[in-house]
Structure formats: structure tokens, C-alpha cells
Amino acid sequence: MPLSDPAVRNAKPSAKPYKLTDGEGLYLLINNAGKYWRYDYRFQGKRKTLAFGVYPVITLADARDRRNQARKLIANGGDPGAIKQAKKQEERQLAANTFKAVALEWHKKQSVKWVPKNTARTLSLLERNIFPYIGSTPIAQVTPASLLSAVQKIEKRGNIETAHRSMQISGQIFRYAIATGRAQADLSLVLKGALTPVREKHHASITDPKKIKDLLLALEGYNGSFITLSALKLAPLLFVRPGELRHAEWSEIDFHAAEWRIAAGKMKMKAVHLVPLCKQALAVLRELKPLTGEGRYVFPGVRSYARPMSENTVNAALRRLGYDKNEMTGHGFRSMASTILHEQGWPHEAIERQLAHAERNKVSAAYNYAEHLPKRREMMQAWADYLDELKAGQSYTVA
């Protein structure tokens, strides 16, 4: 006899579990813990049981509806129990593959080739700007609209570059998810052009020969730390990035070969970089070596020789000499050299290689740290000689 709502509602637990049958395989299992809907059926000759939920969350009407759906599946050759388990497994996989979970997995793999500072900065960007909005969403279910909404919150704060960086990193995460079978599309490609373009910024630099002369003479007259003075003298001669200069190590300097070989891990482009050392640069290094040569760093910090000088040291020295941030920066020595060397007709490829800019041919990027080396040696010495001529007042024209 079919069950009624009052019969289900008034059923009480007894010493042993028992069943109240509704018919067509549906019954209510009652024990001390509660009342449970169950459905017994046969599939391919085997008896199986399917759980429908707990009363009163699942009412009698709900249980009957679920039984009828299961019967239709069986009639069409499906196994409702197997289908339910497959759905649960899919849900578990989705829960385990949230955007945050995949992002952290990607981050861990990528961090082996990053410097610690970049590793921490990338994770911080995700934790502050992306995870709070789509981190708990299965990555396969993240929509272009939800990703854009998260990134636009950064944009609305005025952090345009951070917004673009967040989109770029998200794209890398989606591509990793595609490669590992957990997503179907890189949503950052769909959203290309949706953010406000980044206004290109140039580091303040001096490129007028007469003003370069004044700058070089000002550097020579710096009366602060001798270590800082040495860094100021080398900056225009080597035109490496400020971070590369301050992290220079004595073990990387080969006085005999007149070379400074910077390891790939220190370079922005993650490739070994070779800096030919002109006679003037070697002279500065030889004068500095008795002071810091027993330590690791060529330019150690003020508080500890075990650490490199502060990233603000060179810029602070320039400010002390009267050059504000809109006039000259430590990074500006690179623009200075690039501008003048191009005007002097030196090969673009040699200049770009010496600046350690991105290698377009990525296949050869790992092997070309010595590319154009003879021409670069010649160029670096000619550049240093040109700067000496400027200081002596012998040359203001393009060679």
C-alpha cells in the first residue's frame, strides 16, 4: 500500500531499523539517526540501491519524483546509480580544480625559474586582486565576464599596469589549465582589448652630449661613499639594469678576459649575459677591489657586506647631485647609451644584445650570450672613449 504524508511524518524509530514501503522499489528506511529515502532497482541482472536523501528535506512527493526519473533512465538503458556517482566525481574534480588551486599549482612550477622577489610579487598580486573574486570558482566554469569584472576592479583603482599584469598572469594560468586538461579556453585572449591601454613610460635620461658632459663631471665629483662613487662611474660605462649592477659579484668578474658574465637567474630575460669590460671599467673595478674584494658583492650594502647595496642608492646619489627623477635615473644610463650609439651608427643588433633586450628568436636565445661579441667589445670601448672625450671637452658631435 502506498505511503501517505501523515504515515511518513508520524513514523517513529524502534529498537531495530525498519522500512515503510511506498511501491515500485521506493521505501523509507527508519533508524535512530533519522528517516532515509531509498530506491531498490535491478540493472543488468544486479540488484542495486540508490539513496534519494533525508526526510523531511526530501518530501514524499520529491522521493516519488526521483524514483520516476530513475525508472525512466533504466528504461532507456542507463544506470541511475552509476550516473549519480559519475556526477559526484565530476563535482569533486571541479571543487579540486578551482582557479585558485590551479593557479597555485602553476605558480609552484613556475617559481623554480623565478627569482624569489618575482615569486612573492606574483603570488601577492593573485591573492590581492584575483583570488577574492574567482579563486573559489572551478577554473572550467570561470566566465570571461567574471574574469573581466575582477580585473576591472584593479583598473578602477587607477592601477592600469597592474590590471594588465593580472590579465597576463591569468592567461598563463588558463593556458596551463588547458595543457593539463582542466580548461578549454584562455579567457585572456577573449578579453583582449577590454582594458584601458597602458601609457608607455620612458625612464628619465639625458641624451644631449653637453648635458652628458655635465652629468659625468658631476658623477666624478660625488663626495659620498667610495662604493657608491664606483657604481656611479660604472653605470654609464656598462649600461646594465640598476638591479644587475648592484647585484654584481666578484666571482663573475674576469679581469684577464675583461668580461663580466651575469648568470641567467639574475637577468630579466633569464639568459646568460656577457658584458665586455672596457679599460675604464677595469680601472674602476681594480681600484674598488681592495675595499670590497674579500666579500661576495662588488657593491655591498652599508649595513652588511653580505647583502648588495640598496636599490635606491644610485638614484639617491643622483638626487644628491641635483638630478631629479624627471631628469635622470639609474635606468636612464641605458637610454643614454642606446640613443647615442644608434646616432653614431653602431649596429642595432649589437646595441640591443648589449642591452640584453628580449631575443625574438627564442630558439636561439639560450645560446647567444656571446652573439656579436667582437663588435660589442669594440663598441663598449669606443663608447667609454667617447665619454672620456666629452668630459675633456673634446667632442660634442656624433662620431
Catalytic residue numbers read: 241, 268, 331, 334, 357, 367
CA–CA distance, 134 with 7 (Å, rounded to integer): 47
| CA proximity to 249, closest of 220, 280, 275 | 275
Phi first, then psi, for residue 54 (nearest 5°) are -110, 135
CA–CA distance, 324 with 318 (Å, rounded to integer): 7
Q: Which residue type, as a one-letter code, is found at position 187? A: L
Phi first, then psi, for residue 20 (nearest 5°) are -115, 115
Provide the β-strand partners of residue 54: 36
Counting every residue written for the chain, the total comes to: 399
Residue 232: partners with Cβ closer than 8 Å, 6 or more residues away:
219, 222, 314, 317, 318
Q: Are 376 and 337 in contact (CB under 8 A)?
A: no
Residue 260, class by beta-carbon neighbours within 10 Å (0-12 exposed, 13-18 middle, 19+ buried)? buried
Q: For residue 78, how many other CB atoms are within 10 A of its CB?
A: 13
Q: For residue 332, how many other CB atoms are within 10 A of its CB?
A: 25
Provide the β-strand partners of residue 43: 46
Q: Are 142 and 134 in contact (CB under 8 A)?
A: yes
* CA distances to 26, 170, 201 from 198, in Å: 64, 18, 9
CA–CA distance, 24 with 225 (Å, rounded to integer): 92
Residue 215: partners with Cβ closer than 8 Å, 6 or more residues away:
206, 236, 323, 328
